[in-house]
Amino acid sequence: MRPLISTTDLAAALAGPAGDRPVVLDVRWRLAGPPGAESYREGHVPGAVFADLDRVLAGEPGEGGRHPLPDPAALQRDLRAAGVRAGAPVVAYDDADGSVAARAWWLLRWAGHDEVAVLDGGYAAWTAGGHPVSTEPARPEPGDLTVRPGGMPVLDADEAAALARDGLLLDARANPRYTGETEPVDPRAGHIPGAVNAPFAGHTDDDGRWRTPEQLAARFADLGLRPGEPVGAYCGSGVTASSVVLALELAGHPGAGLYAGSWSHWSRNPGRPAATGALPG
């Protein structure tokens, strides 16, 4: 399954035979609210199941960072409750820049489920296309997915530091956080020494649709990525960096590593260095 699906193709799939319809996950989330569950109740793609970032797509915050990977058993339970079946397609959408949907895409891939895509343009594109919406909560039949972690490469702090030195480590945060000008959430400001700033907002256009593979490939080439070079990504808490991994796959660079703990994990340890300023350091 390709990483992206259009609203037209999703509508056609949802109109097909019941046994072939994808599970649709509504993963709308905002750091400053309102809660995504409220938006879901106001309207969603018919049949979509709401999956909360904090409760389903991440574990409890703590030593592992603000959005650590969930416990595999808990993830399996929640995905089965959402109706996810082995070998059956899943589509995730949000209503912003696609980064939370990319987290769902990455997490399912990490869990060993390859049949997953992000809705291009998200909920805004769905409604703009005149497709139907529903306020009825979904009641899916339980799924049977077995979570098998390891389907996507995960970096720890030492591996991220080594990649910044010997390959290309992309920092997906906005530039003021990368430079250390501001840090509104995590313990310290700055970035991992050697990391290159690649704000996740550059992956989509003003309408929230993903840029073409050619445009993304050019973007990563401009950031210094060479063919065959090892590459990975991090952000504040491992969510928006998932969109970097997806964008790299679209651009022809599959298998990028994700530092799941990201800056929220790195900055907890005062012994880890922090670079500031516009240069990688």
Give the active site residues.
235
Using DSSP's 3-state secondary structure scheme, residue 205 falls into coil
- What is the DSSP secondary-structure string of 75-99? HHHHHHHTT--TT--EEEE-SSSSH
Give the closest residue to 192 by CA, choosing from 92, 276, 107, 257.
276
Is residue 51 within 8 A of residue 57, CB to CB? The reply is yes
Dihedral angle of Cα 179, 183, 187, 189, to the nearest 10 degrees:
10
Residue burial 244-276, b: 16+ Cβ < 10 Å; e: rest: bbbbbbbbebeebbbbbbbbbbbbbeeebebbe
CA 90 to chain centre: 14
